[in-house]
Structure 1
Amino acid sequence: MKKAAVPLLGIVMSACATSPLGRSQLMLLPESQMAMLGDQSFAAVKREMPTEPDRQANDYVLCVADAVTRDVGGSWEVVLFKQDSPNAFALPGGKIGVHTGMLRVARNQDQLATVLAHEVAHVLSRHANERLSQQVAVQQGLNAMQAMADPTSASGKTVMGLLGIGAQYGILMPYSRTQESEADLVGLDLMASAGFDPRQSIELWNNMASSGSGQPIEFLSTHPSHATRMQDLAKRMPHALDLQRQANAAGRQPQCDGLRKGGGG
């Protein structure tokens, strides 16, 4: 198994990148490696978590996801998991997972687009690569190949957590405040550019805050909410509304709500 670490350790070198909002980032891993980790992680989740068989619910989620990702490049696999928890995630390599419980909190296509665009923004901003790179730099090497062979191992759980889906394996590694803010703003632009109503982003986070019955729900546990989140979205709203108007004028007017079953999930 030691040889399996070579592809990862061989690329550990000083590497700087810039996030979509202009922040400097440490990137030690090639995107091909990140895509492989995303593929393996998604496969592990699909083995352990049941999928939602309802075709209408799947079509609805796919409609929103397709609109959000249409212009970001690559092909995206979208899976609706039959889970009551309001949660969603996106992984390098073009993987999107949505829990049916999210459909009760994201009450229309624009709110679901907010969630999916936020998660896709983490991928576009290479936040998982940034976190794994920091881990590699600290540990001077992380045997990701071995970890993915056994996601229930300690190292496997660590990788899952760094990729953003560790809650499934008992490892919560919330994104940093900076990364969350980036995902909020990049995601807002992304969903608006797809033709969705960016004003519904604030309603979505209100729904999130009120749906936990006094306890943080899973999505907010792994994606910390801060007092300034909605203020930051409001500040960027004029720009996002301009993007939406441009998208609508170009014919991008998502019509996914017609596929939605009452209440969702």
Structure 2
Amino acid sequence: MAAPAQRGTKAVENKKIQSKEGSSEMEVNSSLAEEDVKSSVKDAQKDKGMLVEAKVNGEWFTGRVAAVETGKNNVRWKVKFDYVPINTPKDRWVFKGGDDVRLMRPASPESQSPDTNQGPVRSVTPPTAAEPDTTQSGPSKETSESLVGMMRTLLRYFFPPDFRIPKDSLNNMAAEDLVAFPIKEYFQQYESGLQSLCNSYQSRAESRAKAIEEKSSGAEARLAETEEKLRKLRTNIVALLQKVQEDIEISSDDELDAYIEDLVTKGE
């Protein structure tokens, strides 16, 4: 009877050992899964600062990854645009690897294929824009042409008179020509012309102010002369009245005006 009891005890102990081993294995697997998730989130955060292009209303605009959100099966980027037209959002959320986002340079063979918007989401992402990187693409042809056109427009708008390069030649300048454009000399001549224009306006304003001041001084002189003539005329009238009527007393200009008005009224 002792042998069967011992076998039963050993069987129970074996089950306990197997149960502990199974529990330990589940804990290890759970820990590994958590580490994989943390690693994936950490790798996804490296996408911040990447130079990308995102599509808005059917047009591609350049920008940077400003924020990253990780889900169970996908990663979302918040792209902050460098420049967009008026009434266009300045940023938008896109799914990494989606059809409406792409890198600004083709990726290297070691990391991923050039067409990143068709491939699945990967846990290992390209390095950020701050690191030396050959995985990001340069500006697209459409973006480059748009920037070249914008540069031509700006140069034409502020083009200084008598600049050594003809203004019409800007229309045929390629990107390489614009890079070599003497922009420092251009702005020096523009500022010189602007200063001359400001000096001209200032001189005209000073001349007008001087002319107005001279007119004002002349008017004041004529007014003083007229007042002096009027004063002498009143004095002569009083002297004349006193010769006609010796007892007349007039002590102010108002009394003289009233007396003359009374004489005119009686005469009528």
TM-score range, shorter chain: under 0.3
TM-score (ref. length: structure 1): 0.23
Q: Which has the higher contact order (CA 8 A, sep 6+)?
A: 1
Whichever structure has more strand as a proportion of its residues is: 2
